[in-house]
A and B are shown apart, each in its own frame.
Chain A
């Protein structure tokens, strides 16, 4: 379970040394296996919530808990172990450009010292799930946007994460690829993985009929079980 208790986050801008509050006393609970959509204008705090969950940022005030880990107090080793449980999908894909599709997906397992045979089997199986078996030896530069995003999803799910953080994953995709990616995320969610999706896409939010949290200026405006896109 993910829990935010009175969480505020300030960023200090070096130029005027004034703190900018991007999250303001947020209270939030996300249960295991939930599919949560974060909506809101740019700068409303969606990405900061994701960065707090992944341990990239620490709260200025309040407490963020992911499972038993208190994000404000975790060390480097705990951060690494947290990230084993989280898969990331970004708008700009964030693939390693000098690695093939196979190597990009395998990287997460290689970093954890799994055996080669196991890695090969898992990677090929995962590429089949995202329908990219024929692109295993291609480099990211040889792929379309939709294919790149499917590689990113394959990389995210290969370590069987408990949570997937998808930050605007369809932002750079056409409607056809957008539909494919969302279908894939729903399928992953049905296999007991918590999905936290941040998006600006009204159609996605309205069609999937899952929990929607709407943010505005660092505060939660609405939190609805089967919400709609209203800003």
Chain B
């Protein structure tokens, strides 16, 4: 019986070309929307991370503080759970970096003439989230030994700025989530209604099958199998098209998206994307056709 149901589902899929195409196209669009939303989600996270990465704490030490003392303090800071990473920048590195970044500027010449390195060794501290800077700041404030070592702490204490960024990040994430939910719902509705229309156009055939004495399962499952075939083809087509677009236009897309490499993001999540969208498409097809056909089987 299962073999016959699969065979009938396959024959329906092949022979009812225009109906299959309609369902396939709806699922194709739903998957493209889902992939678009997945990329959009990645883009939001990337943008937020980029902004958050711009914030860091630079702690400048007095010239006479030894490297050992700085390393000791670096270890203490790194031990904090709020800290993402700490980078030590020596006097020399700071000088080289400045020269490199301001090549051709007139004051570089002045700097070379005085033959003195005016830069100080520093630690650049990056927190895991913007809200963690407050904790790091409090830790530094509490550490009395540091008072004699530190020459200057940069303006990370501007809590207001950090809070604003944090607030903005969470709002953007929320907005992204709302957009994802709305578009997912629209994609679901489109697919569901297309499949419903396909089954509606088959209502007379369903009636005939019932009169001939077929069981509800024998009538229902070939239509579900047909929808699942449509879903699988829709998934394959949408993946191929999106993948090809990203592969061939990666540079342009990356430029448009401010450095966000969608192709790399797509590849690094390929298993989630393929498995996820296949499961979603199959469930969507199964649910829609099951619900749609039940209406005519009850009559």
A residues with CB within 8 A of B: 54, 56, 76, 80, 83-84, 88, 94-99, 103, 107-108, 110-113, 155, 159
B residues with CB within 8 A of A: 1, 4, 11-12, 15-16, 204-205, 207-216, 218
- Residues from chain B with a CB closer than 8 A to the CB of A80 are 213, 215
* A107-B1 contact, Cβ under 8 Å, with A97-B205, A98-B15: no
- Residues from chain A with a CB closer than 8 A to the CB of B207 are 94
Sorted from nearest, which 8 A-B pairs have the closest CB atoms? A111-B214, A83-B213, A98-B15, A108-B212, A94-B208, A84-B213, A111-B218, A88-B211
Q: Which of A84, A96, A103 has the most chain B CB within a 10 Å cutoff? A: A96
Q: How many A-B contacts are there with CB distance less than 8 Å?
A: 46
Contact B211 A107 (CB under 8 A): no
Contact B1 A96 (CB under 8 A): no
* A98-B4 contact, Cβ under 8 Å, with A83-B212, A111-B215: no
Output the least CB separation between A168 and chain B (Å): 16
Known: A83-B210, A94-B208, A99-B11. 7 other contacts (CB 8 A): A56-B211, A83-B213, A98-B12, A108-B214, A110-B4, A113-B1, A159-B213
A54 to B211, CA, bound (A): 8
- Residues from chain A with a CB closer than 8 A to the CB of B15 are 98
Output the least CB separation between B217 and chain A (Å): 10
- Residues from chain A with a CB closer than 8 A to the CB of B215 are 80, 111
Q: Which residue of A lies closest to B219 (CB)?
A: A111
A107 to B205, CA, bound (A): 12
Contact A98 B11 (CB under 8 A): yes
- Residues from chain A with a CB closer than 8 A to the CB of B216 are 76
- Residues from chain B with a CB closer than 8 A to the CB of A84 are 213
A113 to B208, CA, bound (A): 18
Q: Which residue of B lies closest to A112 (CB)?
A: B213
A54 to B212, CA, bound (A): 10
- Residues from chain A with a CB closer than 8 A to the CB of B205 are 96-98
